[in-house]
Structures are given as C-alpha cells and as structure tokens.
Chain A
C-alpha cells in the first residue's frame, strides 16, 4: 500500500492513527514541554494578577489564501483578541475538526503556519484536540483556539475615549477580506493582494512601551474599520470624525472595491488595530507604531468629536461630510 495521504475517520478515534498524528505532526510542530506531557490538561504557572481569556473559531474558505491560511488566522486572531484587551498573550489551546478525506499535506501546511505564527507571537500551543467527521460533515478543516494572557498595567483613562482623542490605524485596510474573496472567486490582478493576517501583540507592546495614553484598542476584523468604530461610538454623546483621504487603502483593494461595489472600510482585516490615543500623545504613538514592521503604514485617520451622538462620519475627498454606517451583514451585488 502507498503511504497514507489523507485524513481517515480513524485519525480522530483515539487509537493508533490518532497517536501517530499527535506524535508525528503536532508535537514536533508545536514543540514545548507543557504539550509534550500529553496529559488531559496543560498545567502551567502564571504570575499573580489579572488574566484575560478568549476563544474564537475559524472556518475561512478557501483554507489557503495569498498572505496566509486558516492556521495563521487561528493563532493570530486569538492572540490579537488578547492583545487589544491589554493582555500579554501566553498560552493557546487548539481544537481541530477535520473532514474525512482532508489531504494530510494540507493539515501539515496549516499546522506549520500555526507553529510559525505562535513563534512570531511568542505564545505556546499547550493543549489540543482533534476530531474527524465523515465526508460532508465539515468543510475540510475548522479550528477553534482559546488563549490566556496576563493583563498588563494599563494607563490611566484606558477604556474610555474622550472628545479630542485621535484615532490611529497601523496600515492599509481591507486587504484580508479582498484577498480571500479574490482567492475564492479566482480573480487575478497585476498587483498581488495579500492578506494582512499577523499577530499584533508585538506592535501593541511597542505602543504601550512608548508610554503614550492609550484609551482604546480593537482589532478591525469582521465588518472592517466601519464596524469597530460604530461599536465603539454607540451610545456615547461623542462620535468619530474620519478623514477619507487619511485612511490608508492599498491601490488593489481600492480598485477591487470600486469594481465590486464593496467599500474597503467594511471589509475584514486580520492584522489591523484601531488605537484611540490622547491628542497630546498622538504624534508619539504614530511614531512608535511606524517603528514596528507591522505599523509602517500607520496613520492618524480621525478624531473623537463631541456632539455626534454615536455616529461615525467621513469627510470625503471632495470636502463633503457623510455618515459611515455599520455594515449590514451580507454584501449584496449591485443591480444597475
């Protein structure tokens, strides 16, 4: 018989094949002593103090896309949720749901991406689980990760943006969603559109280390920049006034957005953080972001403005002002 090249139901059955998958694939990739004990639960120590704990599931299709894959996403996404909460991410769990027939090479590639991203984020994958469902029961590979991090000492005023504060972003928006869409629909462009998928905890460390008054952080994932800012402003007397011309958008994302009628400000990112910084510290915050490889394209894009009653507004290229609303779920194609 030729060597096994696909996932069988038996890989999730707890027997010989399950053991082989763990020993030959997961252990070497995620290489750390906590995981190596293979006990029912990871046992570790953390310094006393407050913790942050989060979980997220990843079901992206296609599972490989320019700039990343479902593995990169599964680690970076959970790391980013911890980091924007003001925590230093430490330990992650991961649970796989695999579809019978998944090429083993695909799983190897995904696990490799997870290991690389974990190393980049300086976190350890310390416990995990694998289930296999019959063909048709899932779409290739689903991953759930959970993460624990230590809450850092947060600056005064953390959590409450104030009128006059500046809004920053660490680079161009929309690339991830468009890259996935382009991969899904088989669209080809002269300029490659890469997902921005990356762990942001290093960049966020840099920002806190700069000693600036960080008031609010959020990763601009589903619903894009528009959703994050609308959620942040909802229920407040103030709102967010953005300058359209200041928001970084790559030429490829702008073009694709125009063609498809999809606003890049509504499109998901996986490596972008929105930071609200006290006005006096905005320039320093921008400089510290730009000093980090993931913040080279950082920009100040707007201001917290009183009297907007929870709205996000956009001052357009031609000088008009309009609302930037919450995206409405599914993006529908135009009909004329």
Chain B
C-alpha cells in the first residue's frame, strides 16, 4: 500500500527508536496526545511498549464523542422521540449512553435513527423525505465541523425547510489552555492533532509554547509519524525548549486550510461549551449563527431534556484530562466494556478506554461482567 507502508517501515522505526533511546531525559516526562485517532494509533501499533520508561503518554480530550456531555445525548434522544423526526448521526454516537437510554435503544424501540457517513447523506435524506424533519446530530472538532457548515449553507441556499442541525461542535485550542491551567495536570508537551491542524494550522498552538512553556509537535497517524513526533518532543524536553514544530508537513501548513476556516466562520460563532471532564470552557463550542437559526434544531424544536447524570464511579472525566489512565478506573474491563459501556470513553472507537481495552488490556482484565458499585 503506497504512502502507508513507507510510514510503517520496520527498519526506519528501529532507527527512530534508537534515536529516542539516545535522548538524555534527566527526569520522566509526560506528553499528551489530544486526538482520538492518535490514541488509537498508539495502541494499535503497540507504540507504548516501545518507548523508554522515562516517557509517559497520556490521552487528552480528543475524542469528540467522549467529551460530549450527557445532556447533549439526552437532547438528541428527546428529539429522536418526536413523531415526525428522523435523527441522523455518525455511527459512534448511537451507542453512547444518555441518562436513561441511548439512540441505539431508542431506535430498537421505534424511533427513526439513521447512521450516516456524512452530513451530505443527511441532506439527501431530507430531500428524499419532504414530509419528515431530518435532524442531524453534529459532533466533532474543526475536522468535521466544516462539512456541517457546508451543509448548513447549502440547506439555506436551496431553501430546504425540513433539515436542521443539533450542533455540539467544539474547537481544540481552548481545552488545551484549560489543561495547562489545571493544577492536577502535568503535561510537558502535546502531540498535536494532525487532522484538526490541517484545518487550523500549526500556528494555532503558538500560545501553548509562549504562555505555558509546553512543547507542541503536530503529528500524522502512521507509526513513523508518531515516533518522529515523540522524538522531537523528547529533544525539546531534553534541551529545555518549548516550540511549535510541524512533523506532518505532508498535510499541515502553518496557517491551515483558509477556505475551511472561512466557511466555519460563516456558519458558526464561538460559544462557551460544556466538556465532559472539564465543565464549561469559554469560547470552545460552535453555535449556529442566528441568521441560520431556522436550521438550528436546538432553537427550532422545544423538547424536555431530563437532567443528565453520569455513573458516579465512572472516571471518564479524569481520563479525558490525562489525570488517570483507563486501568485506574474501578469500572474498567469489569462493569464497563465495549459491549456494555458505562462511560463514553469506552463507546467510541476513538475513546481512550476503548483503545486500552482493545489493544492493551492484560490477560486477567477480561470484562467478566462483574458488578462494581
């Protein structure tokens, strides 16, 4: 497979690992990856098992499904319960537990919930079925949000009256700032998200280096990309510097995708948003602009949303801030497994708990459905 095999080459990996082994870190350092796809790739290629003990990798709030607060899931479930509504969303979201149910269970009970691969599929659904209201539950970061923005603009331009979006889109830099401000979080540098960076540009992380002394390296998703980025982060730590470096030059520029940024700005405006694990973070969400409020499902439909409640023992909030790793949660691989998840981090294929469960579980952590109260 061209352009993939090159980045999984064993000899090149061995070379990078040798360089990694030669970096003289005086004390252990923690780096955080803030992208679910990085979490997955690190687990899938067994990268943690290759690193020296002085390097600790923790996962951040980079899985959009995982940071979605339970109230937003409950909101979507309430909308799916309206008789004339088709609720369309991405596959990962339908299994996320709300307070009392999930979209998957509502679908089994008769709600019209459809899994789509893109927002455009949801637009097509609306065009095909003019008598029904199609609500798209949009969750995601700067990577997916432009496609939703494009759908909003198209629905507006074509006068589509039976399409709307429940937007829970979020942007990445504000929670990274929140992490740096949090006293319990000890992160020396970030493995910056490759796809988000393709949109917002590597320069977007400058404040982390300048204001907080955090190293930032933008990384791709193949094993060599990740090893290379870790090497750069380690070298910065060894030299006591904090820079923004771009190790994913084949996809990311300093200024990012200006056209995508423009379309985002046309459709959305920044808003304070709730993140699971963090609470409210200023200007971290994307609200549909008021000129498109007819396409905003939150404003268009009046539904009663039950007050959300997470499982009291679930440590997703701490996992999402890199304060604990999944095996430190009392529910992990016992009451909480991918087949029967308690927290969102176990549901999404990009969730940190799911990655640890799937790829890095030990033999006795078998998910034997033992209850933990």
- The CB with the most chain B CB atoms within 10 A, among A255, A315, A317, is that of A317
Interface: B99 (CB within 8 A) = no
Interface: B26 (CB within 8 A) = no
Q: For residues 209 through 262 of chain B, which have their beta carbon under 8 Å from a beta carbon of chain A?
A: 223-224, 227
Contacts of B361 in A (CB 8 A): 311, 323, 325
Which of A308, A323, A332 sits near B359, CB closer than 8 Å?
Answer: A323
CA distance A314 to B49 in the complex (A): 12
Contact B90–A333 (Cβ < 8 Å): yes
Given A317-B8, A320-B48, A335:B359 Cβ within 8 A: no
Contacts of A311 in B (CB 8 A): 361-363
CA distance A233 to B144 in the complex (A): 40
Interface: A46 (CB within 8 A) = no
Given A333-B117, A335-B140, A321:B49 Cβ within 8 A: yes
Give the distance to chain B from A53, nearest Cβ to Cβ, in Å: 31
Contact B357–A332 (Cβ < 8 Å): no
Interface: A239 (CB within 8 A) = yes
Interface: A108 (CB within 8 A) = no
Of the stretches B36-44, B156-164, B301-309, the one at the interface is B36-44
Contact A325–B358 (Cβ < 8 Å): yes
Which of B4, B227, B357 sits near A258, CB closer than 8 Å?
Answer: B4
Q: Mark B28-41, 1 if CB is under 8 A from A, else 0.
A: 00000000110000
Contacts of A251 in B (CB 8 A): 1
Which of B37, B64, B92, B223 sits near A316, CB closer than 8 Å?
Answer: B223
Contact B140–A323 (Cβ < 8 Å): no
Contact B10–A319 (Cβ < 8 Å): yes
Interface: B115 (CB within 8 A) = yes
Contact A318–B358 (Cβ < 8 Å): no
Contact B91–A318 (Cβ < 8 Å): no
Q: How many residues of B contact A (CB 8 A)?
A: 50
CA distance A322 to B357 in the complex (A): 10
Contacts of B360 in A (CB 8 A): 322-323
Contacts of A135 in B (CB 8 A): none
Give the distance to chain A from B358, nearest Cβ to Cβ, in Å: 5
Give the distance to chain B from A185, nearest Cβ to Cβ, in Å: 10
Give 14 A-B contacts (CB < 8 Å), ordered by A residue. Answer: A258-B1, A307-B363, A308-B363, A315-B46, A317-B45, A317-B223, A319-B13, A320-B49, A322-B44, A322-B49, A322-B359, A325-B357, A333-B90, A335-B90
Interface: A43 (CB within 8 A) = no
CA distance A317 to B46 in the complex (A): 9
CA distance A307 to B356 in the complex (A): 20
Contact B92–A335 (Cβ < 8 Å): yes
Give the distance to chain A from B334, nearest Cβ to Cβ, in Å: 16
Q: For residues 299 through 336 of chain A, which have their beta carbon under 8 Å from a beta carbon of chain B?
A: 307-311, 314-323, 325, 328-329, 332-336
Which of B1, B117, B140, B224 sits near A336, CB closer than 8 Å?
Answer: B140
Contact B363–A239 (Cβ < 8 Å): yes
Contacts of B348 in A (CB 8 A): 335
Q: Mark B340-354, 1 if CB is under 8 A from A, else 0.
A: 000000001110000
Interface set of A (CB-CB < 8 Å, partner B): 239, 245, 251, 254-255, 258, 261, 307-311, 314-323, 325, 328-329, 332-336
CA distance A329 to B141 in the complex (A): 27
Give the distance to chain A from B257, nearest Cβ to Cβ, in Å: 15
Which of A254, A258, A322, A333 sits near B91, CB closer than 8 Å?
Answer: A333
Contacts of B130 in A (CB 8 A): none
Contact B45–A332 (Cβ < 8 Å): no
Q: For residues 358 through 372 of chain B, which have their beta carbon under 8 Å from a beta carbon of chain A?
A: 358-364, 366
Given A335-B139, A335-B140, A318:B93 Cβ within 8 A: no
CA distance A325 to B93 in the complex (A): 22
- The CB with the most chain A CB atoms within 10 A, among B65, B117, B139, B358, is that of B358
Give the distance to chain B from A153, nearest Cβ to Cβ, in Å: 36
Contacts of B44 in A (CB 8 A): 316, 322
Closest B residue to A255 using CB positions:
B1
Contact B13–A318 (Cβ < 8 Å): yes
- The CB with the most chain B CB atoms within 10 A, among A239, A328, A335, is that of A335
Give the distance to chain B from A236, nearest Cβ to Cβ, in Å: 10
A-B pairs, 7 with minimum CB distance: A320-B46, A309-B363, A332-B91, A318-B13, A335-B90, A322-B359, A322-B46
Contact B366–A318 (Cβ < 8 Å): no
Contacts of A329 in B (CB 8 A): 339
Closest A residue to B90 using CB positions:
A335
- The CB with the most chain A CB atoms within 10 A, among B45, B46, B139, B364, is that of B46
Contact A318–B141 (Cβ < 8 Å): no
Contact A319–B14 (Cβ < 8 Å): yes
Contacts of A308 in B (CB 8 A): 363
Interface: B188 (CB within 8 A) = no
CA distance A80 to B346 in the complex (A): 36
Contact B43–A322 (Cβ < 8 Å): yes
Contact B363–A318 (Cβ < 8 Å): no
Interface: B338 (CB within 8 A) = yes
- The CB with the most chain B CB atoms within 10 A, among A251, A317, A318, A320, is that of A318
Given A317-B8, A323-B361, A328-B338, A310:B366 Cβ within 8 A: yes
